[in-house]
Amino acid sequence: MNTSVLQAQSVTKTYGPTVALAGVSLQIAASEAVAVMGASGSGKTTLLHCLAGIIAPDAGAITLHAPQGALRIDTLGPEGRARVRRQHYGFVFQQGLLLPELTAVENVALPLLLDGVERRAAEAEATHWLHTLGLAGMEGRRPGQLSGGQQQRVAVARAQVGAPGVVFADEPTGALDSRTSAQVMQALLQTTTGAGRSLVVVTHDEQVAAVCHRVLHLSDGRIVREQHNTPRPTQVAS
């Protein structure tokens, strides 16, 4: 639990005159769930994008401790960062952003298929995750035939198929009611921290933050407060 998987040191990012990140340092441990909170425009999404290698920071170091060894992702080019995202990270966005013409199982299998995994194996893996997330029997449905919460759980399943070390979620429950939101969070925790993966979740929702191990409060691009949650959330074995 104490080995760090992701480390950021004095990360800064500016957009023209706007300072989005003003020197952020943090560590994320294996199997840890970290929530990032803060007012709108405080830099949450920017931080998540830097940690995830979606954008490169202006200064500072971001180190990923992958099974193969430490990797400085801030120094990688666009191609290298894309490979890191594909191989080591999983993502869940506010809206599921599933492909509307593919079935649930095909949507979940897509990252594997694009990586050259055989169709049958890919769909078997996808089916496993859909079952784990309580979506058995819905494998053949299209996103349009699923509720918002179900779509979001399909997106959660899709974030797991590549066996990522860290899963990033930007307001994954932002479009859901509180009960559905709790279900999706439960699903996210179960499939990440419950399976030895780390979770970084940006949220405005106190309840979502409450089930994470740690909450980072951001203001004007700085971490102004760090809060450890006890009791720890129940970890569901998978």
Partner 1 sequence: MRTASHLTLLLVRRGSDTSRASLALPVVAFAVVTALALTVLGGARFFFTIEGDLAAFYQSLAALAVTLLVIPLLTLCGSAARLSARRRDQHLSTLRLLGAPTHTLTWMTVLESTLLAAAGTVVGVLGHLALAPLLGLLVFHGERLGAGNILLGAAGTVLCAVALLALAAISSLLGLRGVTVSPLGVRTRQDVPRMSLVRLVAIGAALGAGLFAGQALQIDQGVVATVAGMVFTFGLTMAVLNLVGPWLLGVVARVQVRRATGRHAAERLLAARTVLDSPKAAWRQVSGVALTSFIAVFAGVGLAVTDAMAGSGASSQEDALLLADLRTGIALTLLISFVTVAASVAVNQAADILDRRELFASLERMGMPLLGMDRARRRAVLSPLRLVSLGSALAAATLIFPLAGIALLTNPLALVTTALLLAAGIALVWLTLLATSPLLARVARES
Task: Kindly list the residues in this chain that would bind ligand ATP in the complex (CB under 6 A).
Answer: 15, 18, 20, 38, 40-46
List contacts with Mg ion (CB under 5 A): 45
Toward Mg ion, which CB reaches closer, 16 or 137?
16
The SS3 of residue 56 is: coil
Q: Shortest approach of ligand ATP to residue 222 CB, angstroms?
A: 12
* Closest by CA position to 4, among listed 166, 172, 178, 219: 166
The stretch near partner 1 (CB under 8 A) out of 4-12, 17-25, 94-102, 221-229 is 94-102
* Closest by CA position to 42, among listed 199, 224, 227: 224
The stretch near partner 1 (CB under 8 A) out of 97-105, 127-135, 173-181, 210-218 is 97-105
Angle at 134 between CA 183 and CA 166, to 5 degrees: 65
Could you say which of 38, 43, 111, 149 contacts partner 1 (CB under 8 A)?
A: 111
Residue 46 site contact among Mg ion, partner 1, ligand ATP, none (CB < 5 to 8 Å, cut-off depends on kind):
ligand ATP
Angle at 5 between CA 182 and CA 167, to 5 degrees: 35
Residue 83 site contact among partner 1, Mg ion, ligand ATP, none (CB < 5 to 8 Å, cut-off depends on kind):
partner 1
Q: Report the alpha-carbon distance of residue 204 to residue 233 in Å, rounded.
A: 19
Q: Report the alpha-carbon distance of residue 172 to residue 46 in Å, rounded.
A: 16
Task: Pull the structure tokens for residue 193.
Answer: 């921290």
Tell me which amino acid residue 105 is. Answer: V
Q: Is position 100 an interface residue for partner 1 (rule: CB under 8 A)?
A: yes
Tell me which amino acid residue 31 is. Answer: S
Tell me which amino acid residue 2 is. Answer: N
Q: Shortest approach of ligand ATP to residue 13 CB, angstroms?
A: 8
Task: Pull the structure tokens for residue 40.
Answer: 């709108």
Toward partner 1, which CB reaches closer, 164 or 194?
164
Q: Please give the size of the binding site for partner 1, defined by CB under 8 A.
A: 30
Where on the chain is the footprint of partner 1 (CB under 8 A)? 52, 54, 81-87, 89-91, 93, 95, 97, 99-102, 106, 110-111, 113-114, 116, 118-120, 122, 144
